[in-house]
């Protein structure tokens, strides 16, 4: 039994919360619960949120265990306040069969720090040529609901249409990495004046927006569910708003790095800032922040993409795309979105827990903090300011773009199914 005392529930009412047998047993006024056997933790001044849910995590196992494993990624997730993460399909082998998704699912369950939910590939080998065994993955033990070729775009419109049609039978969602391949050949950073100055091949906004526009129309045409991964441009926001106003079943995510960083970071030629889609300009950043606050963009997803040092320390053009983010996500979002009161704690819970759980159709995550609910929770110290040190991480990789920055608020405890997985800054195995 755990008794959380004097904690502010989503930044509002201050209560005592008793957790027993995986469940929130009782929520009462402060100092009204007296149970001798309980482990008592005083959380005066701290905020209790539902455990965070990430719809977009690269755990790299199987195949690239030098960058991350399900275990190291689960630790990083727990340290970031997450109780569920979705493992992207671009592993080696690709998660395009029931066998691979069940392997990832089993690993996550054995480690037990967070629920690791596999994302299934849309096409075999992410090759964009033939649909993968979507139904077999959906009906496997891993119960896959989200399918994505992330890292690559499902660029063939016929295949995209077929995938959207196919997953309707079992309530699936196609999550698109929107990148028109012909418009982004060898692209290295946002296409702009700056990319010209730096001599790097540009990745134009239209390469994202043209796919988003096409796909919302396809989703409308076949009346199926589309999710847009890592929206990065003001134009994408406009298209999503238009589609939602029309009643098209589209949801969208933004990453912490696209909320805080711009292409200006690329001036350093430091490949920590190389990411796909690329960091954009100030206008895009403000549009994304506004869209997250207003609900046009539904969720924050980390796109945690670990890479070993040798893949990130060479020349820009040869370096890998991607940034880590599980351990800094909450702090970045709070730093950006709670400044000027664009969002409050209930909004943070909505975009980092409740909405992602809804899109993924998870029954035990993103739930209200109420008696009888499964205790998937995280506790945040809203008053702390801390300096990110990329070397202090549970991830096997160090490619965090926020290294050296000062962020506001920090996750201090995570509770998964009624047990601490992260407590006072330490992983509890
Ligand atoms: Zn992607």
> 397-413, pLDDT tens digit by residue?
999 999 999 999 999 99
Tokens, residue 377: 């929770």
DSSP 155: -
- Residue 108's pLDDT is what? 98
- Residue 429's pLDDT is what? 83
Concatenate the DSSP letters of all residues of 173-218 into one string: EEEE----TGGGTT--EE-SHHHHHHT--EE-HHHHHHHHHHHHHH
CA distance linking residue 21 with residue 309, whole number of Å: 42
DSSP 229: -
34, pLDDT greater than 90:
no
What confidence category does residue 63 fall into, taking pLDDT thresholds of 50, 70 and 90?
very high
258, pLDDT greater than 90:
yes
Are 178 and 227 within 8 A, CB to CB? no
What confidence category does residue 314 fall into, taking pLDDT thresholds of 50, 70 and 90?
confident
The Å distance, Cα 48 to ligand 1 centre, comes to: 31
Across the chain, what does the average pLDDT equal? 97
**CB within 8 Å of 63: residues ≥ 6 apart:** 91, 92, 93
Q: Dihedrals φ, ψ of 354, to 5°?
A: -65, -50
Concatenate the DSSP letters of all residues of 235-295 into one string: HHHHHHHHHHHTT--EEEEE-HHHHH--GGGGGG--GGG--SSPP--HHHHHHHHHHHHHT
The Å distance, Cα 229 to ligand 1 centre, comes to: 6
Return the closest-CA partner of residue 84 out of 298, 362, 325, 333.
362
Residue for token pair 């995986």: 22
Q: What is the pLDDT of residues 151-204, one digit of tens each?
A: 999 999 999 999 999 999 999 999 999 999 999 999 999 999 999 999 999 999
CA distance linking residue 323 with residue 293, whole number of Å: 24
Q: What is the pLDDT of residues 78-93, one digit of tens each?
A: 999 999 999 999 999 9
Residues identified as active-site: 303
**CB within 8 Å of 386: residues ≥ 6 apart:** 331, 406, 407, 410
pLDDT over 70, % of the chain: 100
Q: Dihedrals φ, ψ of 179, to 5°?
A: -150, 105
What confidence category does residue 99 fall into, taking pLDDT thresholds of 50, 70 and 90?
very high
Residue for token pair 């079992």: 170
State mean pLDDT over 38-67.
Answer: 97
115, pLDDT greater than 90:
yes
The Å distance, Cα 252 to ligand 1 centre, comes to: 12
State mean pLDDT over 100-121.
Answer: 98
- Residue 58's pLDDT is what? 98
The Å distance, Cα 178 to ligand 1 centre, comes to: 8
Could you give the C-alpha distances from 48 to 5, 154, 417, in angstroms and in order?
Answer: 11, 39, 15
The Å distance, Cα 353 to ligand 1 centre, comes to: 20
229, pLDDT greater than 90:
yes
CB-side neighbour CA atoms (13 Å) of 403 = 17
What confidence category does residue 36 fall into, taking pLDDT thresholds of 50, 70 and 90?
confident
CA distance linking residue 169 with residue 218, whole number of Å: 17
CA distance linking residue 416 with residue 302, whole number of Å: 19
CA distance linking residue 239 with residue 213, whole number of Å: 6
Name the residues around ion ligand 1, CB cutoff 5 A. Answer: 150, 177
What confidence category does residue 132 fall into, taking pLDDT thresholds of 50, 70 and 90?
very high
- Say how many C-beta atoms besides its own lie within 10 A of residue 159's C-beta: 17
State mean pLDDT over 71-75.
Answer: 98
Are 275 and 282 within 8 A, CB to CB? no
The Å distance, Cα 428 to ligand 1 centre, comes to: 31
Q: What is the pLDDT of residues 264-306, one digit of tens each?
A: 999 999 999 999 999 999 999 999 999 999 999 999 999 999 9
DSSP 297: S
CB-side neighbour CA atoms (13 Å) of 64 = 19
CA distance linking residue 43 with residue 31, whole number of Å: 12
Q: What is the pLDDT of residues 377-392, one digit of tens each?
A: 999 999 999 999 999 9
CA distance linking residue 97 with residue 297, whole number of Å: 30
What confidence category does residue 342 fall into, taking pLDDT thresholds of 50, 70 and 90?
very high
The Å distance, Cα 152 to ligand 1 centre, comes to: 7
- Give 35-70 as a 3 state SS string: CCCCEEEECCCCEEEECEEEEEECCCCCCCCCCCCH
């Amino acid at each position: 039994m755990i008794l959380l005392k004097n904690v502010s529930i989503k930044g509002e009412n201050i209560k005592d919360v008793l957790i027993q047998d995986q469940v929130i047993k009782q929520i009462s006024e402060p100092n009204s619960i007296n149970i001798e056997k309980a482990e008592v933790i005083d959380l005066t001044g701290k905020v209790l949120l539902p455990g965070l849910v990430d719809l977009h995590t690269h755990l790299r196992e199987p195949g690239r265990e030098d960058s991350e494993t399900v275990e190291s990624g689960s630790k990083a997730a727990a340290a970031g306040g997450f109780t569920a993460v979705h493992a992207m399909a671009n592993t080696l082998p690709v998660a395009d069969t029931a066998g691979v998704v069940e392997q990832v699912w089993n690993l996550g369950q054995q480690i037990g720090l967070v629920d690791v939910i596999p994302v299934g590939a849309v096409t075999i080998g992410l090759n964009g040529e033939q649909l993968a065994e979507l139904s077999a993955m959906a009906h496997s033990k891993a119960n896959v609901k989200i399918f994505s070729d992330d890292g690559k775009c499902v660029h063939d419109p016929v295949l995209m249409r077929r995938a959207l049609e196919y997953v309707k039978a079992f309530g699936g969602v196609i999550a698109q990495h929107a990148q028109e391949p012909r418009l982004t050949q060898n692209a290295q950073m946002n296409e702009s004046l700056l990319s010209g100055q730096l001599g790097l091949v540009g990745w134009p906004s239209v390469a994202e927006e043209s796919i988003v526009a096409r796909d919302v129309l396809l989703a409308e045409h076949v009346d199926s569910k589309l999710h847009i991964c890592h929206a990065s441009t003001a134009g994408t926001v406009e298209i999503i708003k238009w589609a939602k106003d029309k009643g098209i079943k589209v949801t969208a995510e933004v990453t912490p790095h696209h909320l805080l960083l711009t292409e200006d970071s690329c001036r350093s030629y430091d490949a920590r800032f190389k990411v796909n889609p690329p960091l954009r300009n100030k206008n895009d950043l403000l549009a994304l922040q506004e869209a997250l606050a207003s609900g046009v963009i539904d969720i924050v997803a980390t796109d945690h993409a670990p890479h070993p040092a040798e893949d990130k320390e060479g020349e820009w053009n040869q370096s890998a795309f991607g940034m880590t983010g599980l351990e800094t996500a909450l702090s970045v979002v709070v730093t950006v979105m709670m400044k000027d009161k664009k969002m409050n704690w209930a909004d943070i819970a909505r975009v980092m827990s409740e909405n992602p759980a809804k899109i993924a159709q998870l029954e035990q995550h993103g739930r209200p903090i109420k008696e009888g609910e499964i205790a998937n929770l995280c506790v945040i110290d809203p008053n702390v300011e801390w300096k990110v040190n990329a070397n202090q991480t549970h991830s096997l990789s160090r490619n965090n773009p926020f290294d050296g920055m000062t962020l506001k608020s920090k996750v201090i405890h995570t509770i998964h199914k009624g047990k601490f997985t992260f407590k006072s800054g330490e992983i509890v195995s």
